[in-house]
């Protein structure tokens, strides 16, 4: 019996039973700072607390991120557009945008492998470009951005999880559009976005664990009825089928529950 296969079910069960366990507080928490290293202003943080409470009431992760993008446009005076990007082991994507142009600008960054968003995500710092028409740091991207009508950009890092990095990006048609106050507002919005993304991933993992446990339970019930066997024997049969077909246990269970198909030889 494959340990890896059995662990599919164990992980699903453990994810449910341990979901309410208290988490340890890490004193070494990453703190977002401005492009010159300045911390977020305490007064501004208090002003944004009401917005944070509104975000907590939003259950849809995508809508929540879209709200943050539109809030950034509304709260940062010279921001024409805003978007949120996430880099993971499997790639990079723009999760939310206030305008379709954001996707075009972001794709130019991803394709070139350079730009404020890329720098902010990978280097874990706030990045600002006052005039992309005269920007030596990212020459390939700068040309594309100016062609799309973008002259200034501000990107603040998102702290999501160890295997995921991201950025809240602000765009303007005007040069020298952003200042330190804009950075402070963006840093707080970015902090809320990072929490939202992390919560979204945690929620998705939890829901997947729940569905996997239920699915495996249904598959066991089908085998118990079909072969007149006990629950442990039914589970062993699922594990055996998973091992010999080189298929995840969840997929074996899904096939059985949806089609009734189960090969025992």
Position 263 confidence tier, pLDDT thresholds 50, 70, 90: confident
Calpha distance 201→188 (Å, rounded): 20
Position 38 scores a pLDDT of 53
The residues that bridge with 128 in the sheet, in sequence order, are 154
Position 57 scores a pLDDT of 54
The residues that bridge with 153 in the sheet, in sequence order, are 129, 171
Where do the domains of the chain lie?
30-205
Q: What is the pLDDT of residues 2-53, one digit of tens each?
A: 444 444 444 333 433 333 333 343 434 344 555 665 554 444 454 555 565 5
The residues that bridge with 87 in the sheet, in sequence order, are 92, 165
Beta strands in 76-189 (DSSP E): 81-88, 91-97, 127-129, 152-161, 164-172
- CATH classification code of 30-205: 3.30.450.40
Looking at per-residue pLDDT, the higher value among 52 and 107 belongs to 107
The predicted model gives 66-90 an average pLDDT of 89
Position 92 confidence tier, pLDDT thresholds 50, 70, 90: confident
Calpha distance 93→71 (Å, rounded): 20
Calpha distance 128→117 (Å, rounded): 9
Q: What is the pTM of this model?
A: 0.62
Residues 6 or more apart from 209 whose CB is under 8 A from it? 11, 12, 13, 15, 16
Range name among 12-21, 60-69, 88-97 with the lowest pLDDT average: 12-21
Position 265 confidence tier, pLDDT thresholds 50, 70, 90: low
Lookup: tokens for 183: 């950075």
Q: What is the pLDDT of residues 186-205, one digit of tens each?
A: 988 888 777 766 676 677 67
Q: What is the pLDDT of residues 205-246, one digit of tens each?
A: 777 788 888 889 998 999 999 999 999 998 889 989 888 888
Q: Are 193 and 65 in contact (CB under 8 A)?
A: yes
Range name among 9-18, 88-97, 144-153, 211-220 with the lowest pLDDT average: 9-18
Calpha distance 265→259 (Å, rounded): 18
Residue 97 has pLDDT above 50, yes or no: yes
Calpha distance 254→260 (Å, rounded): 9
Q: Are 116 and 144 in contact (CB under 8 A)?
A: no
Q: In what order do the strands lie in the sheet with 164-172?
A: 91-97, 81-88, 164-172, 152-161, 127-129
């Amino acid at each position: 019996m494959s340990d890896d296969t059995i662990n599919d079910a164990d992980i699903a069960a453990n994810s449910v039973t341990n979901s309410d366990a208290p988490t340890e507080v890490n004193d070494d928490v990453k703190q977002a700072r401005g492009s010159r290293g300045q911390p977020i202003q305490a007064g501004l943080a208090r002003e944004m607390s009401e917005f944070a409470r509104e975000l907590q009431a939003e259950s849809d992760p995508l809508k929540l991120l879209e709200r943050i993008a539109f809030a950034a446009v509304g709260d940062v005076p010279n921001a024409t557009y805003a978007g949120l990007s996430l880099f993971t082991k499997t790639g990079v994507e723009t999760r939310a945008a206030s305008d379709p142009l954001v996707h075009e600008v972001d794709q130019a960054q991803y394709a070139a492998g350079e730009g404020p968003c890329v720098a902010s995500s990978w280097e874990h710092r706030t990045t600002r470009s006052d005039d992309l028409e005269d920007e030596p740091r990212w020459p390939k991207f700068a040309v594309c951005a100016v062609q799309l009508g973008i002259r200034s950009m501000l990107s603040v890092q998102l702290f999501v999880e160890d295997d995921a990095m991201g950025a809240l990006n602000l765009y303007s048609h005007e040069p020298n559009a952003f200042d330190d106050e804009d950075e402070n507002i963006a840093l707080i919005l970015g902090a809320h976005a990072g929490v939202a993304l992390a919560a979204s991933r945690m929620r998705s993992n939890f829901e997947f664990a729940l569905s996997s446990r239920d699915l495996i339970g249904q598959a066991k019930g089908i085998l118990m009825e079909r072969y007149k066997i006990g629950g442990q024997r039914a589970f062993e049969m699922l594990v055996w089928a998973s091992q010999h077909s080189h298929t995840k246990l969840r997929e074996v269970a899904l096939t059985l529950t949806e089609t009734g198909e189960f090969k025992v030889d």
